[in-house]
Structure 1
Amino acid sequence: MNYLSDLHTHSIVSGHAYTTLLENVNYCAEKGIKILGTSEHAPSMPGAPHAWYFGNLKVVPRIINGVTILKGCEANITDVDGNIDLPSEASRFLDYMIASFHEPVFTPMSLEENTKAMINAIDKNPLIEIMGHLGNPSYELDYEALVIKAREKNIMIEMNNSSIAGSSRKGSSVNCKRIAELCMKHGTKIILSSDAHINFSIGNFDGAIELLNSINFPNELIMNDPNKLISHLKSKGKLLDL
């Protein structure tokens, strides 16, 4: 399987990552990664960039050093109504958003409230293409409801390698396995991500791949093949310049 796209990566702009965008790009070029999605944390996250950063992503070339750049944002869901922390004016040059919960922005609530917040965010924001790190045990969620919503909206659920095999969101792997099983059941698309905060982690999906192999997850639902990913986004009216 051609897993040569990574849409969840961070640079020093996010405030707690350690390489620059160009260092990330050059690492991808060296390792043969064809698509780099740069997805800095949105402004409510401590240390995150101002909204103007996202509004000025238009200056970043589409292709750098042979690597196709997708311009994204890891947006924070801020309340049960599904509001996010990036104004529409600042997001007009984005290709996609990841919608995520982070404890400094959204205090975990009940299963019903957490689930409603994610569903409302997706319904309100057509740029959301990925539900981020749903396996986080800090947030109880109705996984089946979210998997069904993702299929209905033709968006992707993230298999976050940092959650599954790294040091982030300990205890996520069991939940991620359940989510993957539900994606199989309902035919919902997933995307493998590194959630890299340093360039050496970009494209590392080893833990996620091991989890998916353990349940014989079908390759056709995995969206990391560059051609498949671009075709998916173009079918939704995005990336028309590619």
Structure 2
Amino acid sequence: MFFDETEDKLMRFLVDPHTHTISSGHARSTVRENALAAKQAGMEGICCTDHGPAMEGAAVEFLVTVLSGGPEFIEGVRVVNGTEANILDYSGRLDISDRYLEYTDFAIASIHDGIVMPGSRTQHTEAMLGALGNPYIDVIGHPGNPRFEADAEAVVEAARRMNKLIEINNNSFIYRKGSRPNCLEFLRLCKQKDVRITVSSDAHICYKIGCFEHAVRILGETGFPEELVVSRNLAAFSEYLCERRTRIETACKRGKAEKETR
């Protein structure tokens, strides 16, 4: 369960898989400040997932973040090198090429206002499915956004088939008004199909690291199984990262073999 009624407090997750730094252009904290905030909150890990270059202000800084080769642990907190790639169109094309995505250890793909104009439900669905088809992408970010409403069942089924993840983004309940019913539907389907999820803060300042209260409450409402949350602790998240490496290696070998047979 996610809500302890006897102590009237939310249960905690120990990894925040979606955080931003000043390299995103519009966030306000450094990697070290985020790691220190995570440490003070008693967390075990964070993912540094700055925006790809299509986001205003991130065009140059993104490459610095991804290619910096920083330490795995900062302030005693595991810092996973990742990104939030921007979906550019309804085919799911991304603003970060595989050449750079291969340097990431975790990659989110998201549709953002100002980069993609809202279209039809079918178009939004195709965009998410196209992004999930990239072997380096792990999860669709804030898929419950009503501005880009998609066919939740199609997206969850694709995640199940590709062994990928769905994000429940705490910021969506604050800044993307109307996300709640869509998030409930995604959770219902993930529970039904045994599809794993991440629970994230989408923090753009260090003080928001590990803030999951809205997301965790909705998990409690649906009775969502804790074992399907890969970000519940560092051991579970590290296990997923190992699985990810195997998945990418397999996909690359398959792609190479297909090229050789043409």
**TM-score bin (small chain):** over 0.9
Matched residue type, 1:142: D
1:154 to 2:163 alignment: yes
Asked if structure 2 preserves the Cα contact closer than 8 Å seen for 1:55 and 1:89, the reply is: no
1:96 to 2:103 alignment: no
2:221 and 2:71 mapped to 1: Cα distance? 39
Partner of 2:41: 31
Partner of 2:149: 140
1:129 and 1:237 mapped to 2: Cα distance? 11
Asked if structure 2 preserves the Cα contact closer than 8 Å seen for 1:55 and 1:92, the reply is: no
3-state DSSP of counterpart to 1:138: helix
Partner of 1:163: 172
> 1:154-193, CA deviations, whole angstroms, 9 ceiling, x for partnerless residues?
11111100112x2x21111111111111111111101100
Bigger Cα Rg: 2
1:116 and 1:91 mapped to 2: Cα distance? 21
3-state DSSP of counterpart to 2:48: strand
Partner of 2:131: 121
Q: Comparing both structures, which one devotes a greater share of its residues to helix? A: 2
Aligned residues: 234
Q: Quick one: structure 1 residues 196 and 55, their matched pair in 2 at CA, closer, same or farther if it must change by over 3 Å?
A: closer
1:39 and 1:173 mapped to 2: Cα distance? 23
The Cα of 1:119 is off from its aligned counterpart by: 0.7
The Cα of 1:127 is off from its aligned counterpart by: 1.3
2:68 and 2:187 mapped to 1: Cα distance? 33
Q: Quick one: structure 1 residues 236 and 49, their matched pair in 2 at CA, closer, same or farther if it must change by over 3 Å?
A: same
For 2:243, which of 229, 232, 235 is the aligned residue?
A: 235
Matched residue type, 2:201: S
Matched residue type, 1:217: F
Please tell me the root mean square deviation across aligned C-alpha atoms, in Å: 1.4
Structure 2 stretches of 5 or more lacking a match?
Answer: 1-10, 247-262
Matched residue type, 1:31: A
1:160 and 1:52 mapped to 2: Cα distance? 25
**TM-score under structure 1 normalisation?**
0.92
> 1:194-235, CA deviations, whole angstroms, 9 ceiling, x for partnerless residues?
000111111111111111111111111111121111112202
Out of 37-46 and 91-100, give the one that drifted further.
Answer: 91-100
Displaced runs of 4 or more, over 6 A: none
Partner of 2:77: 67
Partner of 1:212: 219
3-state DSSP of counterpart to 1:183: helix
Q: Quick one: structure 1 residues 113 and 54, their matched pair in 2 at CA, closer, same or farther if it must change by over 3 Å?
A: same
Asked if structure 2 preserves the Cα contact closer than 8 Å seen for 1:82 and 1:117, the reply is: yes
For 1:181, which of 173, 183, 188 is the aligned residue?
A: 188
The Cα of 1:88 is off from its aligned counterpart by: 2.3
For 1:5, which of 15, 33, 44 is the aligned residue?
A: 15
2:66 and 2:99 mapped to 1: Cα distance? 7
Asked if structure 1 preserves the Cα contact closer than 8 Å seen for 2:98 and 2:136, the reply is: no
Structure 1 stretches of 5 or more lacking a match?
Answer: none
1:175 and 1:39 mapped to 2: Cα distance? 23
> 1:129-149, CA deviations, whole angstroms, 9 ceiling, x for partnerless residues?
111001100012000000111
Q: Quick one: structure 1 residues 237 and 92, their matched pair in 2 at CA, closer, same or farther if it must change by over 3 Å?
A: closer
